[in-house]
């Protein structure tokens, strides 16, 4: 567990607002990328759970949230988000399911689309997190620090695909402000950052029986993309300012997107991302101005609350 001073420092260091307005950083030589071939993926229809999903859960199980109960509502939300009663759900992204395979029914054809964090190069979730809880490794993994995240969900608001998922009853907000502005911790795929850092393929890619998920260095993946795309459609190369996840499909992504949208219960992604064409949200000046104004206020408020709060009985100040 981080010490109180470390947690406070985490809140005050953020947000990375100067960087938020800068142009995208050039990729490090270690930057990795991935190709997801929708014409190769068959959804592992013969298995109870797709091999990639099972492998992701197995690899990340220890990091799944273990909420303190009973869960409580908090201001300004009217309810909390809780997936802990259904950790086996595989029909959407959740804090317990970081990879979801969307089944897309088209006339005469079914397409399966594994969905997870796109690992954006200039990730707005990272740039606009008020608490500086999101970092990016030199391999290009966008990683949420669960010890610093307040669960305010600005990352989800900033993400064109609404990828990060919130679980209440865990995280620093319980110590700082259990009834105010927060509400848990955000969870998402982190590109298997630990595995990438030691030169191993992510767990999902290693488990796929059809080589539908390919990982490698950015340069190697650029070459591979030219080889495999061959007149097919590509998604993720330029969206949101460029991402490290490139989908390849013989069906246009606009068509896939319209089917996904029509099958959702609401307009929100609800853990089921679409394939919409996106303008990077960081480039939308009005939206950015609003977000950047709110961010420092939230960070300072959290720091003050942490300072004011007396240590709980038996909980020494680690300073
Ligand atoms: S990506 Fe591979 S492991 Fe995942 S559902 Fe498709 S075929 Fe199965
Ligand atoms: S896909 Fe969303 S959550 Fe993932 S890095 Fe991009 S903005 Fe962040
Ligand atoms: S890269 Fe790792 S965390 Fe992300 S979906 Fe694959 S197995 Fe899960």
Query: Of the bound ligands, which one is closest to the alpha carbon of residue 113?
Result: 1
Q: pTM of the predicted model, to two decimals?
A: 0.85
Strand partners, 233: 249
Q: How many whole angstroms from 318 Cα to the centroid of ligand 2? A: 34
Sequence-separated (6 or more) residues with CB below 8 Å from residue 192? 59, 141, 200, 201, 202, 203, 204
Q: Buried (b) or exposed (e) across 10-47, using 16+ Cβ within 10 A?
A: bbeebbbbeebeeeeeebeeebbbbbbbbebbebbeee
Q: Is 206 touching ligand 1 by the criterion CB < 6 Å?
A: no
Q: Is 125 touching ligand 2 by the criterion CB < 6 Å?
A: yes
Residues 93, 127, 1, 198: is their CA dihedral positive or negative? positive
Whole-number Å distance between alpha carbons of 178 and 175: 7
Q: How many whole angstroms from 14 Cα to the centroid of ligand 3? A: 26
Q: Is 41 touching ligand 1 by the criterion CB < 6 Å?
A: yes
Residues 247/266, Cβ–Cβ less than 8 Å? no
Measured from the Cα of 213, ligand 1's closest atom is: 1
Nearest CA to ligand 3 atom 2: 192
Q: Is 114 touching ligand 1 by the criterion CB < 6 Å?
A: yes
CATH-assigned architecture of domain 4-28+42-190+258-308: 2-Layer Sandwich (3.30)
* Peptide linkage before 246 cis (omega within 30 of 0): no
Q: Which of 60, 203, 213, 214 to mutate to test the pocket of ligand 3 (most atoms within 8 A of CB)?
A: 203
Q: How many whole angstroms from 55 Cα to the centroid of ligand 1? A: 10
Q: How many whole angstroms from 200 Cα to the centroid of ligand 3? A: 12
Q: Which helix (H) or strand (E) holds 156?
A: helix 154-158
Q: How many whole angstroms from 98 Cα to the centroid of ligand 3? A: 7
Measured from the Cα of 245, ligand 2's closest atom is: 1
Q: DSSP 3-state assignment of 290?
A: helix
Q: Is 172 touching ligand 1 by the criterion CB < 6 Å?
A: no
pLDDT tens across the length of the chain (319 residues)? 333 333 333 333 334 433 333 445 667 899 999 999 999 999 999 999 999 999 999 999 999 999 999 898 877 777 889 999 999 999 999 999 999 999 999 999 999 999 999 999 999 999 999 999 999 999 999 999 999 999 989 999 999 999 999 999 999 888 887 777 668 999 999 999 999 999 999 999 999 999 999 999 999 999 999 999 999 999 999 999 999 999 999 999 999 999 999 999 888 899 999 999 866 665 665 555 555 555 444 555 555 555 554 443 333 222 2
């Amino acid at each position: 567990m981080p010490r109180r001073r470390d947690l406070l420092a985490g809140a005050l260091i953020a947000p990375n607002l100067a960087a938020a307005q800068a142009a995208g950083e050039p990729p490090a030589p270690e930057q990795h990328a991935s190709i997801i071939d929708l014409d190769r993926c068959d959804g592992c229809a013969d298995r109870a759970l797709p091999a990639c999903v099972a492998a992701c859960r197995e690899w990340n199980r220890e990091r799944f949230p273990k909420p303190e109960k009973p869960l409580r509502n908090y201001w300004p939300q009217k309810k909390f988000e809780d997936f802990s009663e259904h950790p086996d759900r595989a029909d959407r992204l959740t804090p317990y399911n970081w990879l979801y395979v969307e089944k897309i029914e088209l006339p005469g054809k079914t397409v399966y689309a594994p969905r997870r964090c796109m690992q954006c190069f200039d990730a707005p979730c990272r740039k606009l997190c008020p608490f500086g809880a999101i970092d990016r490794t030199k391999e290009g993994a966008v990683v949420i620090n669960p010890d610093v995240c307040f669960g305010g969900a600005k990352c989800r608001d900033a993400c064109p695909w609404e990828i990060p998922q919130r679980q209440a009853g865990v995280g620093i907000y319980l110590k700082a402000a259990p009834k105010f502005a927060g509400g848990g911790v955000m969870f998402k795929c982190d590109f298997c950052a630990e595995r990438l850092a030691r030169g191993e393929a992510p767990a999902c890619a290693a488990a796929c029986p059809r080589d539908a998920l390919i990982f490698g260095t950015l340069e190697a993946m650029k070459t591979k993309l030219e080889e495999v795309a061959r007149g097919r459609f590509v998604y993720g190369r330029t969206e949101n300012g460029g991402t490290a996840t490139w989908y390849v499909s013989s069906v246009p992504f606009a068509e896939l997107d319209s089917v996904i949208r029509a099958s959702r219960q609401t307009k929100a992604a609800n853990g089921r991302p679409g394939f919409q064409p996106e303008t990077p949200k960081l480039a939308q000046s009005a939206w950015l101005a609003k977000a950047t104004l709110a961010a420092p206020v939230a960070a300072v408020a959290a720091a003050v609350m942490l300072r004011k709060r007396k240590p709980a009985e038996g909980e020494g100040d680690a300073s």
